[in-house]
Amino acid sequence: MAAALAASVIDVLLASTLGATGRDSGNRVSLEGLTSGTGEDGALEIGIRRLEAASLRVASGPLVLEVGQLALDRVVAGVRMEAGRPRLATLQAASAECSGVKVHGPLVLPPRPEGGSATDPPAAPSWSLGPLAAADGTIRAEIVDAHLLFDADVTVPIRQGRIDFKDATVEHVGPDSRMGVSRLGLYVDAPNGRSYLYQFSSPPVAGVEYERRGALLGPWVTDRGSLRLEPFVEWLFRQPPGGQAQGITEQARLLFDRTAVSGDVQLGDGRFAAPAVQADLVGRADACNVVRLHSQAVGRGLTAEMASLSVRNAVWGSGDTRIQCDRIAGALTLRLSVDGAQLRFAFELASMKGTDVRLHRPHG
């Protein structure tokens, strides 16, 4: 992230123009210890002892990036001339700090790569959610005026990356309901019958252990089933674009508009990979990487906060840009909201520190 911001700042200094974040403050950039020379590959090499930037705003299509403060120490930037214009090709910084970073716009998941040839660039890594394998926490939901259930309080424990539905509770006036998972999907057994919250297109589904019934397929459920979060969520993300939402039932959509959610989930240490992003989450022993979830109405939006993010070996790649960082620590917030039929996101980085930051853009 910091390297991407620095690249944007240097690109601005080389060729472009930005707008201010506020009425009384413009984009401010300061450089200390500026040197220049020629690198071994013939590119112009610019050295900067310290680069600071403040009050930046960058717009790219529907996405908007705002930066409160950015500082990089011991920067070396390689610049090439392409089509008669200077272009940042490489960047290295011993350390980076930023705060007040905000990115917001419509949320569009990249399509899954299909086909390809031997000359095509490597495909983005598949979803890999290793930190979910040892996740621990509890998700709570309060459903107001649920259909024939009255108000309901739902508690879903997560233990070592697993949701065992025999431990999940749905409490309300009258006999309580029970949650579970069958070959048809995730369900709630209420006094008035079974209702499905999410229906599977076809079994088997990764990470799911289906409910079990008594002898001779009797009507009594003896085991409500379970979910292992890592393979199940990876399976969800690997569905075709839009496929994740197709399984949500109409009844569930109505309930979500009246469902408040809260919870804390301690992620485990492990490899996280998504399209264009890879990193190793570390620091579970120090209570790092705890995700706090909250929403007044989950059908209209959800907020996830991490007060102590800790990762190693982070890699980010988009288009022809590749960024690496040895270690990142910070605090972030992700807000998802529904605007009509469009899902939008707002990413806020309250603070971040990174070490050994490297950026590379291939020539040409």
Q: Which pLDDT score, from 0 to 100, does residue 215 have? A: 67
Q: What are the residues facing 69 on neighbouring strands?
A: 54, 99
User: Quick check: 269 and 280 in contact, CB under 8 A?
Assistant: yes
Judged on CB neighbours under 10 Å (0-12, 13-18, 19+), 215 is exposed
Tell me if 151 is assigned to some domain: no
The three-state secondary structure class of 152 is strand
User: Quick check: 283 and 320 in contact, CB under 8 A?
Assistant: no
Tell me if 190 is assigned to some domain: no
What one-letter code names the amino acid at 200? F
**Beta strand pairing status for 221-223 and 270-274?**
unpaired
Q: Which pLDDT score, from 0 to 100, does residue 84 have? A: 77
Rounded to whole angstroms, the Cα distance separating 145 from 125 reads 43
**Tens digit of each residue's pLDDT (9 = 90 or more) over 145-169:** 755 556 889 999 999 999 999 999 9
Q: Which domain holds residue 12?
A: 1-106+306-364
* Tens of pLDDT, residue by residue, the chain (364 residues): 555 555 555 554 444 434 444 445 567 888 899 898 887 777 789 999 999 989 888 888 888 889 899 999 999 988 888 777 888 888 999 999 999 999 999 987 655 554 444 334 444 457 899 999 999 999 999 988 755 556 889 999 999 999 999 999 999 877 889 999 999 999 999 888 889 999 998 778 999 999 998 766 556 888 999 999 999 999 988 877 655 666 888 888 888 889 999 999 999 999 999 888 999 999 999 999 999 999 999 999 999 999 999 999 999 887 678 899 999 999 999 999 988 778 899 999 999 999 999 988 776 5
Count of structural domains, the chain: 1
Q: Which pLDDT score, from 0 to 100, does residue 218 have? A: 56
Tell me if 16 is assigned to some domain: yes
Tell me if 219 is assigned to some domain: no
Tell me if 324 is assigned to some domain: yes
Tell me if 224 is assigned to some domain: no
Instruction: Write the DSSP symbol of residue 222.
Output: E
User: Quick check: 288 and 282 in contact, CB under 8 A?
Assistant: yes
Rounded to whole angstroms, the Cα distance separating 288 from 334 reads 17
User: Quick check: 27 and 341 in contact, CB under 8 A?
Assistant: no
Sign of the C-alpha dihedral computed for residues 38, 41, 43 and 45 taken in this order: negative
Tell me if 93 is assigned to some domain: yes
Q: Which pLDDT score, from 0 to 100, does residue 20 have? A: 46
Q: Which pLDDT score, from 0 to 100, does residue 26 have? A: 60
What one-letter code names the amino acid at 249? T
Tell me if 38 is assigned to some domain: yes
**Tens digit of each residue's pLDDT (9 = 90 or more) over 312-358:** 999 988 767 889 999 999 999 999 998 877 889 999 999 999 999 99
